[in-house]
Structure formats: C-alpha cells, structure tokens
Amino acid sequence: MKTYENIVEQLGDKASFYLDHVSEKITKDELQLPDADFVSKVFANSNRNPQTLRSLAQLYGHGNLKDTGYLNILPVDQGVEHSAAFSFYKNPDYFDPENIIKLAIGAGCNGVASTFGALGLYARKYAHKIPFIVKLNHNELLSYPNTYDQNVFGKVKEAWDMGAVAIGATIYFGSKESNRQLKEIAETFAEAHSLGMATILWCYTRNDSFKTDKEDYHTAADLTGQANHLGVTIQADIIKQKLPTTNYGFKNLQFGKYDDAMYEGLTTEHPIDLCRLQVANCYMGKIGLINSGGGSKGASDLTEAITTAIVNKRAGGSGLILGRKAFQRPFKEGVELIHAVQGVYLEKRITVA
C-alpha cells in the first residue's frame, strides 16, 4: 500500500491542490460519509429487504477495504463494449475470464463485475470467494453503424442462481433510447431487490449534441449529477459515474433547467467540488458514488488512478471502480496499481474536504 508520503510524491506539485482543498459550497457536514456502519445507517430503515442488506454487507465487507464504507471493484466487460481483441491484446491472459476473477481476488477488491458468460463459467469455483456483480446489459460492438444502445444479455434470476450478490446495468442518459432503458432497468432493479440482490447503475450520458467544438459535456458536473439523481430515483444502491471534468452543460448547451445562481451556489471549478456535486445528487452521499478509473494510457496510469481516488474520497464518494488500468498490464503490476488506489482510502490523513 502507498504511504501518505508516497502519495504526496506521486502528486508532485499538485499535492497541495488536491490534498489541502476545503469545500465550502456543499460542506462535508451535510453529507452521509462512508464508515464501517454505512449499510445500516443508510438502508436499515429503507424498503430494501434483509437479503439485500446482507448482499450489500457482503460487498462492503470484503477485501482490503472491508468495513471502511469504501469500495474498490474490478470491472471487466470491455470484451463486449470495446471488443475482446482490442481490450485484451496487451495482456491476452484475460481472454480467459478466470484470470479476471483471480486479479480481483489477488488485489483484495470488494467485488468483481463482469458478464454472464465470464462469471457464469466459474461461478461454482469462485462465487463464495469474492462477491460477484453480473453486468446485465451492454452495448455490443458489431452492429454497423454502431447504435450505442444498451441491450439486456440475460435474466436477473440467472445472476441470482450463480450466486451473485449484485447486478450492474448501464443507462445512456440523453440518448434517444434512454426512456426505454430507464423503464427496463427500473423494472430489473425491482426484481433484483425482490431476490435480495444489490443494484449498481452505470450512469453515463450519451448524446452527440453534448460534445461541441469547444467542450465535451458528457462529463459535465451538472449533467452527470442529474444522471446520478435519476439513477438513485430508480433505487440504485450504488452509482458508478465518470469523474467530472467540466460544468455548465445545461447552460452552455441551452437545454433543461438551469440558473446562474445554481452554479454559483453549489460548486466551483475545483475537481473535488465538481465531484461533490455528483455526490450531492446521490441523496447527499446516502447512495454511494464510485467513480470510474478510465482507460489505460501507460506511464501516467498510477498518478491518474491515485488522483481520481483522492478526488472521489475527498468529495465524499464511496470508492473507485477500476479495470483497464489494472488488467491491461502484467498481473503483478495490476495488483500493485489496485493496492495503490486502496491505499488512498485506507490513509487516514487523506480526509473529506
């Protein structure tokens, strides 16, 4: 695990920018912060049944971050989303899904998220050793031209039968298919809860109009924050979202509802404050926000992963879901990178801003 001094060294001249910032628009006192009793504090009085509480407890209580209120999940469904050859050519071992599960176990992750096929092939061997999260829907890559739609690949009961503690799903908010996806996944989440499974929603924005010549608003804090709010509305237990890189999506794209005072009152341009707006849209942190680690860029991966973890933790988020930066490198290096991320959440000197 990385020590505080190692983390400071990794951040370089950006250390103070990320580690000393204090959020003043939405303060940490207004949030439900992750801790050892997070599941009970949030869900004990909810409509989630005891089996779902147990599933959530299994997820939060596993791996190196167990009983901290934080999550580190290994997600590998890129073989469907980005093509298997493109995803695994840097490390062909991961064509065999057993190595995906082994990486999650070896790195001490809270859980492993993958496809019906990948997890189903090894369910009897590993479902009792690490929490399984079955990704229910995907954007398959072979339709031409690609439609960027999310289609369901299996049934909730199949995931339950293989011993999964949770299902995951994606909605492309802003796309022309989003209304169908919203209805589809709301019904799916209700079924999962009835069986006692937890639910994780990949809350992505997707619309060609969200990207202009000047800015890509797919990762704007206001648009992604609203996607999060729709996600918790259909009773996602955990929200997965990309880290915000900008703001003013509604204003600059001239749609939806916005007011200048809304931006001034809720956030600043600091990355931690932008992420805090995402957390606020998850019922002020009562539904855990896990940010994604993004694609692998090589030498900068470690610094980027640590930075993302710091932004998420200091914003009041609940962890990181990191895949390509880990599995697109040798096994030992992947484990070390994941451990470095976990070190951020275990380091008590890195506090909520």
Q: Looking at the annotation, which residues are catalytic?
A: 240
The residues that bridge with 10 in the sheet, in sequence order, are none
CB contact at 8 A, 112 and 151 = no
Cα dihedral angle (229, 287, 16, 7), rounded to 10 degrees?
A: -130
Asked if 113 and 76 touch (Cβ cutoff 8 Å), the reply is yes
User: If you count them, how many residues does the chain have?
Assistant: 353
Q: How many CB atoms lie within 10 A of CB 108?
A: 18
Q: How far apart are CA 291 and CA 130, in angstroms?
A: 21
Give yes or no for a contact between 280 and 266, defined as CB atoms under 8 angstroms apart: yes
CA distance 261 to 283: 21
Contact present, 238 and 290 (Cβ < 8 Å): yes
Instruction: Give CA–CA dist 198/48, Å, rounded.
Output: 9
Closest listed residue to residue 262, CA positions, set 275, 272, 271, 249: 249
SS (H, E, C) 60-114: HCCCCCCCCCCEEEEEECHHHHHHHHHHHCCCHHHHCHHHHHHHHHHCCCCEEEE
